[in-house]
Chains A and B, each alone.
Chain A
Amino acid sequence: MMEYLKYIGQGLIVFGSLFLFLGALGIFRMPDFYNRLQAGTKASTLGAMSLILGVGFIQPEWMIKSLIIVVFIAVANPLSSHALGRSAYKNNLKPFMKKKMDAYEKVAEILPKEEDRL
């Protein structure tokens, strides 16, 4: 039984590392900040989650702790990427677009700028 858990854990770690690598490649290849955010957020979330879960499978006494970390990553990662994307837009970083499709533009002009709120 322990043997199988170990194999599952190693499989998860390899799977996670693969997606972390793909996320890094995405950050390297994408044309602008927002698309890098896309690749970075998704790949690093699944990659880190499955890597830590794999550690939990190899060391079963750490399983519950690694589950807490997985839940924390699933909540915190999208929040931070949301904050990054929003603040980038508010600081006039225009997204790269092949054809102009920007529904947020009209709203961002009306809203108070970040520095005015401080």
Chain B
Amino acid sequence: MSGKPSAISQWVYAFLLFFVVWYAFTTSLEWAELITGAIVAAILAFFTYKMSKGGMTIYSPLKLIYLVQYFFVFLFALIKANLDVAKRVISPSLPINPGIVEFKTQLTSEFAKMVLANSITLTPGTVTIDVIDDMFYVHWIDVETEDPEQAYMKVAEPFEKILLKIYG
């Protein structure tokens, strides 16, 4: 992420987030509802804008395209993960070979690391146990390799290359 975003852009980001959630919960276009929502969102955004690290910089069109791409890669991996678990659970011999592997990530932003850890948990055969600085510790239901480099290529690479483009 290049430079720190201005307070205004952080505030607008928080405001939009709260307002969209408000609208989704009320789902009405009446003026009274919208104005109440705007006031509540503005007050909440005033208290919480310091927490939105990226501000509006996240909304460049290119990044939005990557976000959509990430969503589809993630959805595909989630369905594949479930079929994988289903296959293991149903087969009578219970084909598992569990272990914990480690690998290094190139991501620097804390939020991006959180997204990557969550994605790894929901993808085939892996659950993130811990993240310490830039090391990921992953419980793998069927360990194919113990080498950190190859484990990284197998577990994290498809997600991380998109996250690197979004969060830098």
Contact = CB atoms under 8 A, between A and B. Distances in A.
Interface of A: 19, 22-23, 25-26, 29-32, 34-35, 37-39, 41-43, 45-46, 61, 64-65, 67-68, 74-75, 77-79, 81-82, 85-86, 89, 95-105, 107-108, 111
A25 B21 CA distance: 36
Given A19-B82, A61-B27, A82-B117, 8 more contacts: A26-B88, A41-B127, A43-B86, A46-B79, A85-B129, A99-B97, A103-B101, A104-B137
Contacts, number: 130
B155 interface: no
Interface stretch (B45-53, B62-70, B139-147, B159-167): B139-147
Contacts of A67: 24
Contact of A107 (B89, B99, B132): B132
B168 interface: no
Given A25-B89, A38-B127, A68 B82 contact: no
Interface of B: 21, 24-25, 27, 78-79, 81-82, 85-86, 88-90, 94, 96-102, 117-119, 121-122, 125-130, 132, 135, 137, 139, 141, 143, 146, 148
25 contacts: A19-B86, A22-B85, A26-B88, A29-B94, A30-B96, A38-B127, A42-B85, A42-B122, A45-B122, A46-B79, A46-B82, A64-B24, A77-B122, A78-B128, A89-B130, A95-B139, A97-B98, A98-B98, A99-B99, A102-B100, A103-B102, A103-B148, A104-B102, A107-B130, A108-B130
A78 B117 contact: yes
Contacts of B130: 86, 89, 104, 107-108
Nearest to A100: B99
Contact of A22 (B89, B118, B125, B128): B89
A33 B89 CA distance: 15
